[in-house]
Amino acid sequence: MRPLSFEVDGWIILVGALAGAACAVPGSWLLVRGRLMAGDAVTHAVLPGIAGAFLMTGSRDPMVMLIGAAISGVACLLLAVLLERTLRVDKGAALGTAFTVFFAVGLVLIVRGADRVDLDPSCVLYGALELTPVDRVDWFGMDLPRALPILTTTLVACALASFLFFKELRLAAFDPAFANAIGARPLVMDLLLAALVALVSVAAFESVGSILVVALLAALPAAARMLTNRMGWILVIGPLLGAVAAVIGHASAILIPPLVSATATDTSSAGAIAVASGAIFAVCVALGPEDGLLPKLARQSRLRLRIAREEALAQLWRARERETPLEVASLLTLMDQSALRRRTSRGALRMLRTENHVSCDDGIHLALTPTGAVAASQIIRSHRLWESFLASRADIRPDHVHTTATLLEHVTTPELAIRLADEAASTTDPHGHSIPRAENPTQD
């Protein structure tokens, strides 16, 4: 294992981070516009333009490459529209066909040209991130890796466009019909977005390769979307995650292979950054505060526990009305009818014991404590109010209302209970049981 050095790895990580951040800016807009596929197409379609421009001029000047890329990118989108309109090919199929053909032509050009000039197909696909510190340029008197000023300019350009046209880009992405109606020209914003995608693909493909561009374009904005509901924050968090992916990716490309096999050396940093982007996305999907899997599971299990708790209280109240105390086992059997898992039911029971709502004085039979009785009466109240309402106002047969009322009693807020009491206007449920009075006197 080689030690990480600032002179080499510092530059590589910086270049990777800039590429990741730059790609995430137009990627965020593509994500919310639902156009990541078109972004994917443009990143591939620029390849023949880049190769052609290089083969014709022999220059690696970024401006020359950008012009070539713009020409082939636009040509590909036009071809896709042409296929769609004239031959009535499906939109996705037209785009998919057009960009793969363009990508293939680009590869053929590069392989043919590689005989004569220094252009490496694998470098185009996977990039040459490891070589960036070697390929240097003088920029305003500073001796820097060549990719650094290119990517910095690109990132600034993307950020500036997003800042200046934030409101127009957001409107065009959210509601193109309304944008059109007020003369905000959503089509111009689509073109601006396509131009930004072409720009980042050209700037980033040399260092990180065209395959990684796609990963950076999609994965990190999607990860950022899991963390926030604000467009502005997506545009900040997405690029930051891009930079994080570069650091994690490059470090693991050097540090992890030796752990797996003693003879292994560094793996491709660009590849590792793509994997890191995927990993970051996976973490955000798992932990995202609103739609994340783990918070969602936690919310669901809290809800199930609450329902089980209320169900247990209700059953104990009914047992007290029947004057037949329940044992733990028979209570659990009764709760099984509400499709509750045994584990949840037991958990709810433990909770009620620690809350001091339920006591078990003789070690066998369960009983409601005074505070437990108050809580139980309010659940029974909303259950029986619903039964009464459903039977008297919604004309549902009395023997049908129990199941529905069991569902509704758990979602009844105090405000809803007040309205329900007014509507139901009854002191007994359809089965003749009395409806407990409201605990809060204002509800009576």
Positions in the binding site for another protein (CB under 8 A): 32, 34, 86, 164-168, 170-171, 173-175, 177-178, 180-184, 225, 228-231, 234
As measured in angstroms, the least distance from the Cβ of 16 to another protein is 27
As measured in angstroms, the least distance from the Cβ of 162 to another protein is 12
Indicate the residue among 112 and 230 with the shorter CB distance to another protein: 230
Indicate the residue among 167 and 322 with the shorter CB distance to another protein: 167
What would the two tokens of residue 248 be? 């994690």
Indicate the residue among 82 and 264 with the shorter CB distance to another protein: 82
As measured in angstroms, the least distance from the Cβ of 232 to another protein is 9
Residues 388, 435 contacting (CB under 8 angstroms): yes
* Three-state DSSP class for residue 325: coil
Indicate the residue among 139 and 165 with the shorter CB distance to another protein: 165
Indicate the residue among 139 and 166 with the shorter CB distance to another protein: 166
* Three-state DSSP class for residue 440: coil
Indicate the residue among 85 and 342 with the shorter CB distance to another protein: 85
Torsion-angle region of residue 407: left (phi > 0), alpha (psi -120 to 50) or beta?
alpha
- Complete edge-to-edge strand list for the sheet that includes strand 365-368: 326-327, 365-368, 358-359
Q: Provide the terminal-to-terminal Cα distance of the chain, rounded to the nearest Å.
A: 76
Give the list of residues 6+ apart from residue 368 with CB closer than 8 angstroms, or none: 313, 316, 317, 320, 357, 358, 359, 376
As measured in angstroms, the least distance from the Cβ of 155 to another protein is 20
Exposed, middle or buried by CB within 10 Å (0-12, 13-18, 19+), for 444?
exposed
Indicate the residue among 33 and 304 with the shorter CB distance to another protein: 33
As measured in angstroms, the least distance from the Cβ of 389 to another protein is 18
Cα three-residue angle 256-259-265, rounded to 5 degrees: 65
As measured in angstroms, the least distance from the Cβ of 161 to another protein is 10
| Residue 7 DSSP symbol | I
As measured in angstroms, the least distance from the Cβ of 339 to another protein is 28
Indicate the residue among 134 and 164 with the shorter CB distance to another protein: 164
Indicate the residue among 34 and 441 with the shorter CB distance to another protein: 34
As measured in angstroms, the least distance from the Cβ of 91 to another protein is 14
CA pair distance 121, 114, nearest whole angstrom: 8
Residues 385, 435 contacting (CB under 8 angstroms): yes
What would the two tokens of residue 208 be? 């990180």
What would the two tokens of residue 169 be? 């880009």
How many CB atoms are closer than 10 A to CB 442?
A: 7
| Residue 234 DSSP symbol | H
As measured in angstroms, the least distance from the Cβ of 165 to another protein is 7
Interstrand relation of 326-327 and 365-368 (parallel, antiparallel or unpaired)? antiparallel
